[in-house]
Structure 1
């Protein structure tokens, strides 16, 4: 401590600001016993504390006070009495600083000795005080026992030199908060906010900053910029409350990296966490169902010595129930009751629902009895609530027994009880029992609108619209008025099932009956109109929300935008997106990406870039860096641009590499027209030279991105433009050219472009290397991909996470598999601090299981879980990988081990096991697993239905497959490309070619659109059945759809036509293949 005081006194004489910073940095550390100060030290300290604001003084005072307390506690009780000293003792540093702080913060009333100066703008300036005599003992005690708040420094925005004193009791900060909030919230460009804040002539304090942040929680990225700008102001330190607000904002945005970074900053600053900090962190992890992190934070809170109150227990309890962790939730419940904490009624209800889903009926009843005893709830209410839990979890047998028990006990059975029971049977698909209950009620006491609504909803979910309409008519005849929710569900189902006219009639009937549609009903009608290409009617209905005083919700905007993009109306969707943003409703990333993709497909690249720019600015993490530190264009793109060779969403990912628009769509379309109209480059060049097109790097990049079919001409254009005087290609354009050459398997030209890029002194980044590695891997040239990876590291480039991902994915592929190398690269990736995503880990574990390296798979998974990877996802992928490798018994054992680790068998685990059993022909065991799923309250997924369809098609039981397909639609499961592909294969195996074509045409008309795998499968089936001419037609359809056929596709059709004696058509196949190769490759 003596050395610390000497250092402070030395710094005061040379650098006053550094002395203040030193006091701030060290004031909250555990201090040793304070010493006495020499006269020289006291002179320097007096200079420090009489010339600055009170905050550093309070911090050092707090440190010395803590030292005093520590010293007092260490003394023995037997030594309480003290002997009188023989001479006077020097004043303690603590006592002297107390005088200085008291005089600084509480100026004397004597106006002769204290003069308060008024600044030019009317604010209070620093008072000048005289220090005489010893301070009031009560004042010193009061000051010394109060814990300082970091960040008490008050400063004027835009002026780092002046530090005027602000008294919150004398000044209302609301006008300042309002003014700053307007500046922050109205921000449009990256530098404008900071510039305006610098120019603002207002006093800022920690209280003002905290209130501004609270008012900006809906614009988190702007709040973060303001938070960081304030943090960089001299002599300012954020308070715990300000950090709490920012942690809350980051948690709401699910930006957990930022949230953890803010917590680390708190630990580095003299800014201790309080109960609210811990509570916010636990709450946000819990809401995101990151139970492992929430539990670790809870344990860390207990170890920190912070008191864990009932609010924290309730947050953890809710998180565990929502994440379906009944065992952990029961442990928390027992701990709460053992601590005599009052458990609220809603927590009892959540726990009962969670236990019912797990199938523990005895535990549900036990918790219900506790609820009756502790929460003072009547027996009738408790039994009704238990019934509700059983019905929610589809435990209909337990619900039926409990209902009989309720009637035997003569407990209250009202309309709500019947509603719960009928809904439960409808949810479980047992419509006959639901109808019987309603019939019995109709004969006795009558049926209300809610019960009719439950029945109609149940039939609609089963897909039985005719019965639902009959019930609706019966409802009208009995004098019951249908509810708005009943009308909404009927209208929605009719629109989806080609009942457009009937849906319109019901909507008119609803209005005639005086029933005012809510926002859900309006959203359903809007979606129906768009699905039937009635765009103008959809807009009219949507506008009625504003006319009727309703405000469209985020869900309403999202549904409308999705439907517009589905029917290829992206410009209408863009208009709606702009309206959504202007209404201060933040769209999710998925909405942005859908609009960007749709605009790109129709060639509106300029508008797509603008949407991408808005999407970036709305993300919380995009503006974490200091605005003053503007990175160069290529540095920004290196981190944002992801290689899209492996991803199916190519257009969306490619858009990430575009920053600004310096060309028109008309120019882009004209270039495409020219390069697709001529086969020889000399003709293309002649037309281009005579045109008035103004080529920019962005235009060239856009041409390359959208010219996969005509890649040869696009690359020749790239080379021709690069030789023009005054023109220079950008690094991004070279990256796109390298990618285009690699996708055409023109690796010679790809390497030529890389060398040319290096000679041009352009910035070669890890992203450039990643593109080349991905192209080699895509072609199965994994050794060349490995060589490029080694060369990349040898040249000093640090691989990105995407570099590791693509290399490992292709090393684990069927073509060019190198399992040992994949393991080494995976371990290197983990050591470098990169975590795999779900897609990559799935492929990696499958490779290890198929290569019989189960020990390595388990070791890798355990290592990942220790580093924070979700155990539930990880072990589900392990089960899936074992099933894919045909190791069913080990998969079943792994599924059992999951439960021991606190994970659950979810629908994905069951889906993997069922699929594996069916692939081995073990139908009965697979059906047993499906029944087990039902008993556990887990509904069948599209995956399981599709697996059953694949099995029955393989066994040539097409009727059974169609029954499963119908049941799948009745259960509300959406068929995927895989489902329809399985049906096409099944019909082809049965010789039902016409039915196969009908399914295929239905896919092209209504979606999901056939992909490369579907085309390839259908082509192979047609060739096998002697219909190779139809397969040739599919090749041309693929090319028209923008899908490039593979060499295998051409070979199958060529051999099929030769077998059928159609040699002239076979030559046509070869000509098409060669023409496509000439259009794509430049190195021929």
Structure 2
């Protein structure tokens, strides 16, 4: 990975022009603060806040445009800004990129072409066939055949752009069209498909499309690389995004402003401000930069760190490069500090504004109040509101922020008190404020209070919006008052409010929860009559809900409605044309950010220093005496930030005891506050060491500290319980999360299903129930999860449920060939080759694509049955089609030849791999080690093991475990003991089974003293990993 970050050193210039703010040394000092200074520091912060309140309370507000801080927080728009938020003047030096089309002329040309697409009868006619696909008797492909059009790349590309929201249909159309007359493999078609797959978060489809481009000799252009970077960035696959970025360079394409812009945004969204800064430095050195919107994202991301000087420099560059006013830059800076919980820095900024004689308007008071509420400093927030009240700046907005702060703490009584304060002050509460309180009251089973609040809102002449009405509908359904819910829902139309898709979605989910199936049918029919687009995931929820209760007749009614919703008229409606145009524009604008050119490079600062991380890790591993380690840490000059702590936790996971003591110690340091990411990583460290008591303690501490507990936190705990076989506790944890009001995310579902499918603690019934719930919730599982789930179902012989899973995956847009290839793979792995071949023969889709996906699995299945010749024939037939055997095929052959004791064939297979530049994987090396051991050739096994490490394929846990088993079976347990020590040295924790295998082996060989040392190693490892020992 080092090759990815060959950046030159880049240091911020302290003498730069236009410095916005000079913070006091206390806010960015790197000197260590001893515990004796904690009280003094606390007093200093209080003193600072008192000083700020005096500043804010002493001035008289004047509406002078020259001094007012003008931050466009709400609907205010600067006439000088473009769509991305960057000033028009910033775009005069846009870096030329004719291929991607960033110039103004290209934009005009694109607009003209789009208009031409909209009136193209050919494209409209093809699109109506593709997107309809509702006829059971006549397939989409047959209908397309009858059109008798030449499917040239331009036409195919235009149709694909209009299928942006139906990726499964887009891929199906492409699979059919690519074999037709007039089609040729053009990069524009693949770029559109990659954009569609990326928007659908279907990374498997993205990978397959890239491979297909390579098979068809279709070269990538600059836009292809940019799309791939964007796809992986949006999916938070930062590692893959970085690899693509580096491959782009190696392919001869110099990354342009668009690629850098997307990379930095992706890193900011993923919370990797350290890497974003590195890319920012490289951009500066190359003389390019980005628009205001990306600058604000970078500012918000870096503000979470302790590097205040870096944040200040970025704000300076916003003024100099984007030519915004200092007033606006102050606003962005204040907002970033408040969002990041950096209240001290925000207060120092306010003090700095005083010295510059800048007056704050209402919006900036609101930013400060919101920041204080986020930091759970409600008393301080109220003090600011009192100052606003004295200066006659208070309004319903700022009181709404206070109410939101109390509701975030689940303190509804104080929220209601503040509601009375708003009314007594003569202000009308906002609709959103009423709605927020009502939602909390309904959630706390205080239904009548919530309804009274809704009635009060209407009596006071405040018109409810769709969100408020939907909240009341959900409240009624929670009380099983269906008739009243319908009455309230219908009142939307009477008030001239059109129910949104979200409103319908909540209504449907609540009806499903109450099993009111007749009402669901009524609501679906109403949605269809109102021309509300009903998504497939909603139909999936409803059908799954009805299946549980055996409502077969009603399921058929739902499917009839689904067919109606999918049908498209031959003459496209205006709304449909508008939707298609929006989808085309979404594809065309997928990666077209606004960029600006930089005249003089500004300074920057480094992110988390890897040397600092390594230094702390060395301290933690140098001694098991915590007091000595703590003394070393106290003397260290390293600046501790949440980002650095996360990296230390990640790199020292096997030393759970020491590293969690470090986590506790650093959390008590003056001026330091743990982040949610740091808590999540500490919870993972404790769970990996099976220290579940400490894991729970950290979770409760995280909640007490006011850190945001998301689905990711729960997913980590679920995975840690489940991986050790404690699946019942994992299930209870999942339910506990839902009871806390959190809706399971895709990752939470995946973690639970994965651990339920593994052999240790397997619970197939619960896995099936959770998988169906995931589908109903509208989440599409990834390939890895589908592989685990189908593999589990096949292993227990539940092929009926596996086939049902295939049907449901097809309905939600999961690629059908990929799903069937996974199913066939699972059948082959359990020895059901005949069933696998039958599924392959009966497949009605693109057979050639499925053959490519499954031939390795078929070869594996044939070899398990001992049918070597048939397997070799299969390999040769694929070679004739231009498909070379992959590493998994060669590995299967090696395993088979070892089993048959045909060492010459093994060596011959290895020679073929080398000739075809097929690098052996860790699995291949592991198979060779076990094979040699099975033939009694221990020396050859060790040679393969050493060769593996020399080639850069580091042995993993499975490699060590299998080698240890083989050595103990061969009477070489002392060598296995050495492998245990090597595992520990490499940071791989041996399992209880590993220790037991070596212990029994040494005892069998009469080496009792060495056997006792195994028990000592096991006890030492347990003490090393656990705090709650």
TM-score (norm 1): 0.47
Larger Rg, first or second structure (1 or 2): 1
TM-score (norm 2): 0.49
More RCO (CA 8 Å, sep 6+): 2
